Amino acid sequence: MPAESEARGFPAGLGMSNICLETLAIVRLSCYDRHRNPFKRSKIIPKDERYMPYRRTMFVIGGGGREHALVWHLAHAYPDVSVYCAPGNAGIASLATCLPVSQHDLPGLADAAISIGADLTVVGPEAPLVAGVVDAFAARGLAVFGPTAAAARLEGSKMFAKDLMRRYGIPTADHRVFDDAGAAAVYARGLEVGAVVKADGLTAGKGVIVCDDADQTVRAVQTVMVDRVFGEAGRRAIIEERLEGPEVSVFALVDGEATCLLPPAQDHKRISDGDRGANTGGMGAVAPYPLPAALLDRVRREIIEPIAHAMCAEGAPYRGVLFAGLMLTRDGPRVLEFNCRFGDPEAQVLLPLLPAGLPDLFDGVRPGRTASWDQTAAVGGTAGVVLASRGYPEKPETGFEIHGLGTVAALVFHSGTTIRDNRIVTAGGRVLTVVGQGSDAAAARSAAYDAAAHITFEGMHYRRDIGGRAPYAAVGGV
């Protein structure tokens, strides 16, 4: 009788190798004293002193551009490490062994990790984190990096996150929560200014409707709560104050109450140039976004550290990558949302900037480790341009062959691709993220657009103004 792993279709002969016992601590850390920061070091650990070379097998869960960037970073930092990915995509397949397991099949993912002898699993998307993949892995003694289901509620329920911010004094927009569409519509009609309507649950980054007036807000309530355009995520909705200012994505490694900020990035959500049209999962990003040091310190003190403390106080300590989507208002930074993972497309522009191997950063989230991160080490800049399918974000048209991938010198991360008849074809709304690198933002932007011009597929479209917004210093103050 074949082993359970073979019955699921995983490669035979890979064995059920023992998981490195030291890495199991990743999923059972205790809260640190909030004034103790194990990440605050002055230099990067030399490669021959790092812990990760002793690991031989890494497993990445997901199949989008973010996961391609994660796999690329792992393979780039440690060429001797074997990398697996489930389910992966056509681009990931050039760097890792892709396993035919859905990111929603939690038992299947755990079986895969055991079958390949994964020393550490890194979870990319939010859906399996919210569903409890970290808890499922921990129950089977598997090492995994990411927050538990209880901690991932920060992204899984906007109502949970809003209530937590209100109770712990973390700055965010004023809001009301509704589970009745009629009551929400009555409230919306009484508004004298524009508002933002959000579906409460997971919507792949698209469940936000920005409204200019009361009529638009009423229609947005209909879209979210009655038409259920975002599915069950719209069973409950939030109507919140519309804030003004530039948006920025701030990422941090969090281990209980200890935090370490990574370079900030800026996403471009709207489908069309000039920030017009429908909200999307993201049409491009730039990094690092130039924030004054005093403002970044304020974000740390007023938002990142307090939310880490709040999660510990609530009995659900957060461990993993925390993504704070912020609006930089004239009254200071305000939280738009929290996410429990790297952003997409932010990961594609952020990871190429990190000079140390990403696994070393993960090791820094373990007790007793001294892996370090130089928070000022990012050199130069990156700009990522998303190439999307016709019809995205509503009804993307797919199945078209992609031409020109072999002609570009820039990094190209695959989001919605597959292989059909030995050809790479489109398989999603956001298809590719073309990432340019340069000595500064302008050079990176130029490199990204030069490379994008060499890639074609039927119905392809992309924004032409990624990275073209005015810098923060020209918009407002700290």
Q: Which two tokens stand for residue 247?
A: 């948006």
Main-chain phi, psi angles of 475, to 5 degrees: -105, -40
Domain ranges of the chain: 57-146, 180-235, 247-469
3-state secondary structure of 406: helix
Chain-centre distance for alpha carbon 287? 14
Tens-digit pLDDT profile for residues 180-223: 999 999 999 999 899 999 999 888 778 899 999 999 999 999 99
Instruction: State the architecture of 57-146 in CATH terms.
Output: 3-Layer(aba) Sandwich (3.40)
Q: Which residue has the tokens 């900037």?
A: 353
Helix (H) or strand (E) segment spanning residue 86: strand 82-87
Q: Would you call 254 exposed, middle or buried from its count of C-beta atoms within 10 A (0-12, 13-18, 19+)? A: buried
Q: Would you call 371 exposed, middle or buried from its count of C-beta atoms within 10 A (0-12, 13-18, 19+)? A: buried
Q: Which residue has the tokens 């469940």?
A: 207
Tens-digit pLDDT profile for residues 19-78: 222 222 222 222 323 333 333 332 333 344 444 545 689 999 999 999 999 999 988 888
Q: Which two tokens stand for residue 49?
A: 């002193």
Per-residue confidence (pLDDT) for residue 425, from 0 to 100: 98
Q: Which two tokens stand for residue 385?
A: 């341009």
**Closest to 174 (Cα-Cα) out of 191, 157, 189:** 191
Per-residue confidence (pLDDT) for residue 207, from 0 to 100: 87
Alpha carbons 252 and 255: distance in angstroms, whole number: 10
Per-residue confidence (pLDDT) for residue 279, from 0 to 100: 86
By DSSP bridging, strand 381-388 and strand 284-287 are antiparallel
**Closest to 344 (Cα-Cα) out of 280, 389, 301:** 280
Alpha carbons 205 and 256: distance in angstroms, whole number: 26
Q: Which two tokens stand for residue 89?
A: 């995509």
**Cα angle at 244 between 241 and 250, to 5 degrees?**
95
247-469 is a CATH 3.90.550.50 domain: no
Per-residue confidence (pLDDT) for residue 377, from 0 to 100: 53
- By the 8 A CB rule, do 45 and 371 touch? yes
Angle between helices 305-313 and 149-156 (to 10 degrees): 130
The 8-class DSSP code of residue 317 comes to -
Q: Given 3-state DSSP classes, what are the helix, strand and coil percentages for the chain, each rounded to the nearest 5?
A: 35, 25, 40
- By the 8 A CB rule, do 355 and 379 touch? yes
Alpha carbons 300 and 160: distance in angstroms, whole number: 21
3-state secondary structure of 111: helix
Per-residue confidence (pLDDT) for residue 443, from 0 to 100: 95
Per-residue confidence (pLDDT) for residue 102, from 0 to 100: 97
Q: What is the DSSP string of 231-282?
A: GGGGGSEEEEE---S-EEEEEEEEETTEEEEPPPBEE--EEETTTEEEE-S-
Q: Where are the beta strands (DSSP E) in 94-201?
A: 97-98, 120-123, 144-145, 175-178, 195-199
Per-residue confidence (pLDDT) for residue 40, from 0 to 100: 34
Question: Which residue type occupies 67?
Answer: E
Query: 3-class secondary structure for 21-39?
Result: HHHHHHHCCCCCCCCCCCC
Per-residue confidence (pLDDT) for residue 44, from 0 to 100: 32
- By the 8 A CB rule, do 181 and 226 touch? yes
Helix (H) or strand (E) segment spanning residue 436: strand 430-438
CATH fold of 180-235 reads Dna Ligase; domain 1 (3.30.1490)
Q: Which segments of the chain have a pLDDT < 70?
A: 1-55, 355-358, 360-361, 363-378, 471-478
